[in-house]
């Protein structure tokens, strides 16, 4: 795991956007895995800015979101489809037909969505770069603690804590869904590159478990330790409980020195 500790939320977003920019420069028809929630918002704003300035284009990009609530239609302001439209897709030059979420329309069988979604991801060549946030309980996507570390895209019941954490987004608690369709941990692990973002003190314990704890279903994000190409971008607060904090900063310093010496050569 490449753990990078940055000053603040803005620095995390700048670095995350730079990684996406680099991918799109090398591979304009890249397949991106996206997350909703608060954490990637600043990154999406950077990407919108980059796109408006002509630094990158999403014209040939395909996106797959991690998850979607069951029971909220695309027009519902609380649905992740609506969130993605509002926070990213409407502001960039992406083809709306190339943006996918594991949505379960009225009358559709929720159990059939997962396998179909995975087949669609495969048909587009798989995910090049998966952006992830992390829940306070260590979830990635809606893979709550005790999810199988090899799970596939499927229906998942949210924990009471996750429902509570997301309550602020719902005016009427009775309309807040308790189930979602989420990419599985096994599905996420197939992405060629993973970018985990975490900001704020409320994520510090989950980050510690994910980065330094044992690989365990009780902290789904810990499975990322088994992925070959993971970058973890943290602000100081989210990194505050890392035992290896100083080591990660030392690594970053050595990398900088190495890059500088190559630039001088
Ligand atoms: C969202 C998702 C979740 C969030 C996580 C953190 O698509 O899959 O795993 O990334 O709940 O949410 P925020 O960023 O709102 O703290």
Quote the ligand 1 centre to 140 CA distance (angstroms): 7
User: What spacing in Å lies between the alpha carbon of 151 and ligand 1's midpoint?
Assistant: 18
Exposure b/e, 176-197, CB count within 10 A at least 16 = b = bbeebbbbbbbbbbbbbbbbbb
Q: Taking the CB of residue 154, how many other CB atoms lie within 10 A of it?
A: 23
The answer to whether residue 264 is catalytic is: no
Pocket of ligand 1 (CB under 6 A): 35-39, 66-67, 133-135, 139-142
| Residue-wise burial string across 133-150, b where 16 or more C-beta atoms lie within 10 A, e elsewhere | bbbebbbbbbbbbebebe
pLDDT by residue, tens only, the chain of 265 residues: 999 999 999 999 999 999 999 999 999 999 999 999 999 999 999 999 999 999 999 999 999 999 999 999 999 999 999 999 999 999 999 999 999 999 998 889 999 999 999 999 999 999 999 999 999 999 999 999 999 999 999 999 999 998 998 898 888 888 899 999 999 999 999 999 999 999 999 999 999 999 999 999 999 999 999 999 999 999 999 999 999 999 999 999 998 899 888 877 7
Catalytic residue among 9, 103, 128, 139: 139
If you take atom 9 of ligand 1, which residue's CA is the nearest one?
141
Catalytic pick from 67, 68, 128, 235? 67
| Active site annotation includes 137 | yes
Q: What is the pLDDT of residue 140?
A: 98
CA of 38 to the centre of ligand 1 (A): 7
pTM, rounded to two decimals? 0.96
Question: What pLDDT, on a 0 to 100 scale, did the predictor assign at position 96?
Answer: 97
Phi, psi angle pair for 17, to nearest 5°: -65, -35
* Active site (annotated) includes residue 144: yes
Catalytic residue (choose from 50, 68, 144, 235): 144
Ligand 1 atom nearest 200 alpha carbon: 16
CA 35–ligand 1 middle distance (angstroms): 7
Q: Could you give the 3-state DSSP secondary structure of residue 47?
A: helix
Number of the ligand 1 atom closest to the C-alpha atom of 41: 14
Residue 64 CA: distances (Å) to CA of 58, 134, 137: 13, 17, 23
pLDDT at 157: 96
Q: What is the pLDDT of residue 240?
A: 98
Which residue CA neighbors atom 10 of ligand 1 most closely? Answer: 133
The Cα–Cα gap between 79 and 241 comes to 33
Ligand 1 centroid from CA 235, angstroms: 16
Which of 32, 33, 36 is the pocket-test mutation for ligand 1 (most atoms within 8 Å of CB)?
Answer: 36
Instruction: For residues 142 and 133, give the distance between their C-alpha atoms in angstroms, rounded to a whole number.
Output: 10
CA 259 / ligand 1 centre spacing (Å): 33
- Ligand 1: atom nearest CA of 140 is 9
pLDDT for 8: 97
């Amino acid at each position: 795991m490449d753990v990078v500790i940055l000053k603040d939320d803005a620095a995390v977003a700048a670095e995350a956007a730079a990684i996406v920019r680099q991918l799109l420069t090398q591979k304009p028809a890249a397949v991106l895995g996206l997350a909703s929630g608060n954490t990637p918002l600043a990154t999406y704003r950077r990407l919108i800015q980059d796109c408006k300035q002509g630094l990158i284009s999403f014209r040939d990009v395909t996106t797959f979101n991690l998850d979607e609530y069951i029971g909220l239609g695309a027009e519902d302001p609380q649905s992740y489809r609506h969130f993605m439209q509002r926070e990213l897709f409407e502001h960039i030059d992406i083809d709306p037909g190339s943006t996918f979420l594991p949505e379960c329309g009225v009358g559709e069988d929720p159990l059939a969505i997962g396998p179909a979604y995975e087949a669609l991801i495969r048909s587009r060549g798989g995910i090049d770069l998966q952006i992830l946030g992390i829940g306070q309980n260590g979830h990635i996507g809606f893979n709550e603690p005790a999810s199988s570390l090899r799970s596939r895209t499927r229906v998942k019941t949210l924990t009471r804590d996750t429902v509570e954490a997301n309550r602020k987004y719902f005016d009427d608690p009775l309309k807040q869904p308790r189930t979602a369709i989420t990419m599985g941990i096994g599905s996420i692990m197939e992405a060629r590159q993973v970018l985990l973002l975490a900001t704020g003190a409320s994520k510090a314990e989950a980050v510690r478990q994910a980065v330094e704890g044992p690989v365990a279903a009780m902290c789904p994000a810990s499975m990322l330790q088994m992925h070959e190409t993971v970058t973890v971008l943290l602000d100081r607060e989210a990194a505050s409980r890392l035992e290896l904090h100083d080591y990660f900063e030392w690594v970053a310093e050595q990398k900088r020195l190495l890059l500088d010496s190559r630039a001088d050569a």
